[in-house]
Structure 1
Amino acid sequence: MDTEALHTERDRSSAPETGEEGEGSRSVRSERGRARAAGRTVLHRLNRRRAGLLGVVCAVFVLLLSHFVIQPFQIPSGSMEPTLQVGDRVLVNKLAYRFGDRPERGDVVVFDGRGSFVREGAEENPVSAFTRGALAMVGLAEPAETDFVKRVVGVGGDHVVCCDEGGRVEVNGVPVDEAYLHPGDAPSRVPFDIVVPQGRLWMMGDHRSRSQDSRDHLGQPGGGMVPVDRVIGRADWIAWPAGRWSSVSGTDAFDEVPDTARGTGGGDG
């Protein structure tokens, strides 16, 4: 019996054809490749959706934070120099007066000037107002023309006069040494003698010669007095530029001022 021929036949019958084996392997690899590509596509889409959702959540969080807690505010003019410079981004503490506290003399505050500094009902185009408001909310645009930043000089019940014999502002009979004024500025070149109504504030800029403030609206409805409920918040920190990163300095200029001209009773401060 030819055993060599038998082994050769067995070997040929048991081994698969070389061509068929290569074709099958390529087919399997192709299917696996398509599956991996499809998986990567699905994963990429999921990652994009997650990133988009995360972006929306972050944007909503920032807007809510700006609306209720801390809002960036871009300084548009030099009326508060040297305390605040043009282009400064200050962080406005919206909780400062939220729980019963009132603005005090010397506070630097941001407020809505409608009805006091600008006429009531002054509005801009709704679309542009929304866009500008959203950008201003995160400090990327200048504030609305109805928003102002000034220093509180008189609170409800205060008798504010300018000027005394030394050229200083007097509050309730006490002259105030305003060290925060812009160098070379007089406390005021416009004389005034007013009593601040309860629930209102007398506002002045630190750069008196470049500030349009309560003095400029004495003869208008409201007399330049800002309602307390129009105060947006207190400017507590300078966040930008980095070289000016600091808190907004307080002042002791009003420490000796009594609550009223006779030193009795209590105003809004």
Structure 2
Amino acid sequence: MTSDDRGSSSVSMDEEPRSSHSRDEPLSAAKGRSKRKQLPLWQETILLLGVALVLAIVIKTFFVQAFYIPSESMEPGLILNDRILIQKVSYWGDGEPQRGDVVVFKDPGGWLPPIDSAGPTNPVAQVMAKVGLYPTGGHLVKRVIGVAGDTIECCDDQGRLVVNGQPLDEAAYVKRGGAKCNGPMPTNGACNEDWEVGPIPDGHIFVMGDNRSRSADSSQKMCQPDETECVPGDEFVPVDLVVGKVFVLLWPADRFRWNTRPATFEDVPDPSSS
């Protein structure tokens, strides 16, 4: 036997070398796995759109929603067609609207004319409204003046609203218009008679627009002495109808700002201590 014979081993013609087999098998398996993970572009697009839609619905339901200002009732701070964002986290669980909050709430019934309750008519806008990317109709935007248990009076000798005995300094955000005070009854707009409301029932709030002489709000729904068809209690908004609190003026961009609660409401005492 030669040295060449001793240094070699015989391999059957039917048997594939091990080194070749061990290299080829992982490669083919990896290629198979790679092919299974890749989706056609159109399928990936549908999947991404589906995820985005679910996220949008979740965000609208629990966190943030877009709305617009439907009238001039919140001037000068918020004007007609301003785009705003509301947040819902503050009212989770036992959280409820606080005095001074600017809130969006569903129409309690008859507060809005039909045209403002209709919402968007464009099909694309209707779809976007359902997922919170476009404002919906049938909602109002007002400022919370009183909460459960509060008593509100109009007005002191400076024309200021008084909540639980504490006058409100609203000069920074109220537009009186043709009124002589900050608490007109919009049926006459002249603030030429005093009024008092409360205590506010549990689970309700009393709201007013910042443009006091041009706002269809709680003060307009109060029963006046000479009214016969007025329903007492219609001036209060159920807390259950509140969608959320305005926290940012989003558009127009040149007026972008965060919305905060005025400091004057911090001085209002609780009803039990007033």
Common fold: TM-score over 0.5? yes
Q: 1:110 to 1:129 in 2, by over 3 A?
A: farther
Residues in 2 aligned to 1:167 and 1:246: alpha-carbon distance in whole angstroms? 29
Match of 2:170 in 1: 178
Match of 2:155 in 1: 163
Q: 1:160 to 1:131 in 2, by over 3 A?
A: farther
The alpha-carbon deviation at position 132 of structure 1 amounts to 6.1
Identity %: 36
Match of 1:188 in 2: 183
Say whether 1:197 aligns with 2:207. Answer: no
The alpha-carbon deviation at position 52 of structure 1 amounts to 2.3
Q: 1:118 to 1:245 in 2, by over 3 A?
A: closer
Deviation string for 1:104-153 (max 9, x for gaps)?
1100111112247369xxx869x969976643353434x32x31110000
Q: Is the 8 A contact 1:116 1:223 kept in 2?
A: no
Give runs of aligned pairs for residues 251-266 of structure 1, distance below 5 A.
251-260=262-271, 263=273
Match of 2:92 in 1: 98
Deviation string for 1:187-238 (max 9, x for gaps)?
1232431101121100000011211100111234432100111111111112
Report the number of matched residues. Answer: 215
Structure 1 unaligned spans of 5+: 1-42, 265-269
TM-score (structure 1 length as normaliser): 0.71
Match of 2:61 in 1: 67
Match of 1:21 in 2: none
Residues in 2 aligned to 1:194 and 1:130: alpha-carbon distance in whole angstroms? 43
Amino acid at match of 2:216: Q
Q: Matched residue of 1:65: which SS?
A: helix
Q: Matched residue of 1:64: which SS?
A: helix
Say whether 1:84 aligns with 2:78. Answer: yes
Q: Matched residue of 2:205: which SS?
A: strand
Deviation string for 1:69-111 (max 9, x for gaps)?
1001111211111221222221111111113222111001111
Q: Matched residue of 1:255: which SS?
A: helix
Q: 1:194 to 1:128 in 2, by over 3 A?
A: same
The alpha-carbon deviation at position 249 of structure 1 amounts to 2.9
Give runs of aligned pairs for residues 215-230 of structure 1, distance below 5 A.
215-219=219-223, 220-221=230-231, 222-230=233-241
Residues in 1 aligned to 2:222 and 2:123: alpha-carbon distance in whole angstroms? 32
Q: Is the 8 A contact 2:84 2:248 kept in 1?
A: yes
Q: Is the 8 A contact 2:184 2:219 kept in 1?
A: no
Q: Is the 8 A contact 2:70 2:140 kept in 1?
A: no
Deviation string for 1:153-178 (max 9, x for gaps)?
01111110112222111111111111
Structure 2 unaligned spans of 5+: 1-37, 186-193, 224-229
Residues in 1 aligned to 2:156 and 2:110: alpha-carbon distance in whole angstroms? 26
TM-score (structure 2 length as normaliser): 0.69
Q: Considering only CA atoms, is the larger Rg found in Structure 1 or Structure 2? A: 1
Q: Is the 8 A contact 1:74 1:139 kept in 2?
A: no
